[in-house]
Amino acid sequence: MNIPLSSYFALLKRYLQPQRGRVIALALAILIGIGLEVAAPQVVRAFIDHTLAGAPVASLVGLALGFIALMLSRQAATLLSTWLGESVGWTATNALRADLALHCLTADMSFHNARTPGELVERIDGDVTALASFFSQLAIKVIGNLLLLLAVVLALFREDWRVGIALTLFAAAALWGLIRLRALAVPYWLRVRARAAQFAGFVSERLGGIEDIRGLGALPYTMRQFHALLREWMPHQIKAGMMSMLTWSITVLVFAIGSAVSLLLGSALWREGVLTLGTVYLIYTYIETIRAPIEQIRFQIDELQRASASIIRIEKLFAIQSALAPAATAASPASAAGPLAVVFDRVSFHYDPDEPVLREVSFRLPAGKVLGVLGRTGAGKSTLAKLLLRMYDPQQGAISLSPDGLAAAQDLRALDLTRVRQRVGLVTQEVQIFHASVRDNLTFFDPGLPDARVRAEIDALGLGPWLEGLERGLDTPLKTAAAGLSAGESQLLAFGRIFLRDPSVVVLDEASSRLDPATEAHIEHAVDRLLAGRTGIVIAHRLATVERADYILILDEGRVVEFGPRDALAGDASSRFAELLRTGLEEVLA
């Protein structure tokens, strides 16, 4: 698999441009190193020729000291270029990692459903780390080493044109061969990385599910799967290693041949008296000198092979477009705070074309009113919420938000995604807790919210005593603090997040179903507060949950069975809702 050079350059340009100054300094440090490298053998040549000519010891000592000085300067240049190189490399890869992480994080949910977090960590951290030297060294070292080769060739032309030509031919042939070898091992490393990612996904997921595995006696089965993954991985790893070995060996062999041929020529010219012995030695030293750059280029090619495998995977990841249509105008839903009306207009949606989840769902919920959504599991209730938060876009129809539900209605797709999500809040029953402080968990890392406000919310939720019990207050890591929290209390924290964001529309999805009755009262109070002055959509499993609803929507297999004001429906004896109330929910919907 050959990667177009343009991909390399595009990446380099994008991430090195912002740190141009340092890149130039790095290039200078490397160039100075090269200059010193070419100068050193000249000193040795002079030394040999002077010695054989019987020069005074004092001048020889001077040459020796000069050589030592050159070497010390070269070390300094190397240290400087390491520091600059690392700094450039990490700055670039950090930026790339952040871009990639943001790209993945903003992708729609179908993207996340298809990938394990472990796999994404491997691809964002693992693959990008493999690119570190690509940024810091690769281009500059490849160019630097090519320049070193050129400098050596020119120096040899100065000695004798035949030696110059021989070495030029050799260097050109060697480089041509190397470039041919360039892509040899890429597909092999690509497969190795794919296996590594698969392994990462498996291990992370299973480590997260130990309780299930142990409680179901599935440990032997899990271990067998684990071993099967290793078994499939090993041959790829060995093959990839052998391909890299081949690249290395061919380089060394080609080099030995070139070296022998050049010395053969040198000795012939020495016999004719064209070259001094010092110059034959110079040729020998220069071949040793270009051994380093050639091995360097070989090494960089290995790096490039690894990097190429990573680049391909990174580009694949970047190429995945969020299925959400970008907003054309990026308008915000009526900038003023306050409740918004929600309108679903013949909305159809499916994850899989053969399995429609919502079919032509239409309803209009006026601003500030509460809608209770009823229906069996799988009737499409949760999907309704996901569409409203634009985790997915409907295939047909439109959803719109507006202050009055009429004239100013705006299609969600025309709105800025972030703003939509600022105005619509969702409480699910799974509460995600981050390895961060209580404050960051509640504010979602928003440092703009004052502590007093956060504290006030915690108090209002009845969690004040809990907060006071924490050693470091709001700075306590929540993972530790939550050890003393019940599921119900964790749920209250999720409410806290919403209160702090103060959205216009609130969606409560199965929010209270895991709570036991005795703890429920606390939540009740919070829900009342949450729905006050906001438009609310409550996805419920029990009739009691929709007592506070102004409107009722009953879904069945993705279709609206019934929609209307709660009181009207309750009063109409022929309605499904009245039937539900009369007979109790279960018999009717079943």
Partner 1 sequence: MKTLRVIWSLIRYQPLLYLGDQLSWILVHLSPLVPGFLYRAFFNSLTGDAPVGLTPEGILALVVAFAVGQTGLRAMGFLTDMPHRFMTVSLLRTNVFARLMERPGALALPGAVGDVFNVMRDDAKQIEDLLSWFCDLTGILAFGALSLLTLFSINAEMAVLVFLPLLAVAVVAQLAAHRVQKYRYALRDADSAVADSLNEMFESAQAIQVGGAEQRVIARFKALSEVRKGAAIKDRVFAQLLELIGNGATSLGTGFILLVAASAMQPGLAKPFTVGDFALFVNYLATISFFTVFVGRIVSTLRQARVAVERMAGLLPDLDPVAIAQHRPLYLRGPEPAVIAPPRDRLETLEVRGLTCLHPSTGRGVEKIDFALARDTLTVVTGRIGAGKTTLVRALLGLLPVQSGELRWNGERIADPAAFFVPPRSAYLPQVPRLFSDTLANNILLGSSDARQRPPEERIREALWLAVLEEDVESFEHGTETQVGTRGVRLSGGQAQRAAAARAYAQGAELLVLDDLSSALDVVTEHRLWERWDALRGSGQVGSHTALAISHRRAALKRADRILVLKDGTLDDVGTLDELLTRCEEMRQIWNARDAGEE
Please list every residue from 194 through 213 that binds partner 1, using CB under 8 A: 196, 200-213
Residue 379 phi, psi (nearest 5): -75, -10
Among 177, 338, 464, 484, contact with partner 1 (rule: CB under 8 A)? 484
Pair 163, 265: CB distance under 8 Å = yes
Q: CA torsion angle for 325, 326, 329, 335 (degrees, to 10)?
A: 90
DSSP labels for 388-410? HTTSS--SEEEEEEESSSSTT-E
Residue span 273-292 as binding mask against partner 1, x where in contact by CB under 8 A, dash where not: ----x--xx--xx--x----
Please report where in the chains the tokens 């050589």 appear, as a residue. Answer: 67
Q: Which residues contact 291 (CB under 8 A, 6 or more apart)?
A: 255, 259
- Residue nearer to partner 1 on the CB measure, 179 or 256: 256
Binding status of residue 352 toward partner 1 by CB under 8 A: yes
Residues 73-112 that bind partner 1 (CB under 8 A): 74-75, 78-79, 82-83, 86-87, 90-91, 94, 97-98, 101-102, 104-106, 109, 112
Least Å from the CB of residue 584 to partner 1: 5
Binding status of residue 456 toward partner 1 by CB under 8 A: no
- Residue nearer to partner 1 on the CB measure, 3 or 530: 530
Binding status of residue 264 toward partner 1 by CB under 8 A: yes
Mode of pairing for the β-strands spanning 505-509 and 535-539: parallel
- Residue nearer to partner 1 on the CB measure, 121 or 467: 121
Binding status of residue 263 toward partner 1 by CB under 8 A: yes
Least Å from the CB of residue 406 to partner 1: 27
Integer angstrom CA distances of residue 8 from 26, 91, 315: 19, 17, 11
Residue span 228-257 as binding mask against partner 1, x where in contact by CB under 8 A, dash where not: x-xx-xx--xx--xx--x--xx--xx-xxx
Binding status of residue 323 toward partner 1 by CB under 8 A: no
Stretch that binds partner 1, among 150-158, 177-185, 401-409, 513-521 (CB under 8 A): 513-521
Burial of 582 (0-12, 13-18, 19+ CB in 10 A): exposed
CA distance 92 to 131: 9
Residue span 165-194 as binding mask against partner 1, x where in contact by CB under 8 A, dash where not: ------------------------------
* Total site size for partner 1, rule CB under 8 A: 159
Stretch that binds partner 1, among 24-32, 158-166, 395-403, 514-522 (CB under 8 A): 514-522
CA distance 327 to 336: 20
Binding status of residue 408 toward partner 1 by CB under 8 A: no
Instruction: Count the neighbouring beta carbons within 10 Å of the beta carbon of residue 214.
Output: 11
CA distance 203 to 207: 6
Pair 510, 480: CB distance under 8 Å = no
Q: Which residues contact 215 (CB under 8 A, 6 or more apart)?
A: none
Among 24, 71, 179, 337, contact with partner 1 (rule: CB under 8 A)? 71
Stretch that binds partner 1, among 175-183, 364-372, 415-423, 561-569 (CB under 8 A): 415-423
Residues 558-577 that bind partner 1 (CB under 8 A): none
Least Å from the CB of residue 258 to partner 1: 10
Binding status of residue 548 toward partner 1 by CB under 8 A: no
Binding status of residue 223 toward partner 1 by CB under 8 A: yes
Encoded tokens for 296: 């360097």
- Residue nearer to partner 1 on the CB measure, 50 or 364: 50
CA distance 208 to 230: 20
Binding status of residue 382 toward partner 1 by CB under 8 A: yes
Binding status of residue 453 toward partner 1 by CB under 8 A: no
- Residue nearer to partner 1 on the CB measure, 230 or 532: 230
Residues 418-447 that bind partner 1 (CB under 8 A): 418, 421-422, 425-426, 428-430, 432, 434-436, 440, 444-446
Among 10, 143, 169, 219, contact with partner 1 (rule: CB under 8 A)? 219
Residue 365 phi, psi (nearest 5): -105, 115
Pair 395, 387: CB distance under 8 Å = no
Least Å from the CB of residue 75 to partner 1: 5
Residue 179 phi, psi (nearest 5): -65, -35
Q: CA torsion angle for 285, 299, 5, 233 (degrees, to 10)?
A: 160
Residue 337 phi, psi (nearest 5): -70, 180
Least Å from the CB of residue 111 to partner 1: 9
Binding status of residue 39 toward partner 1 by CB under 8 A: no
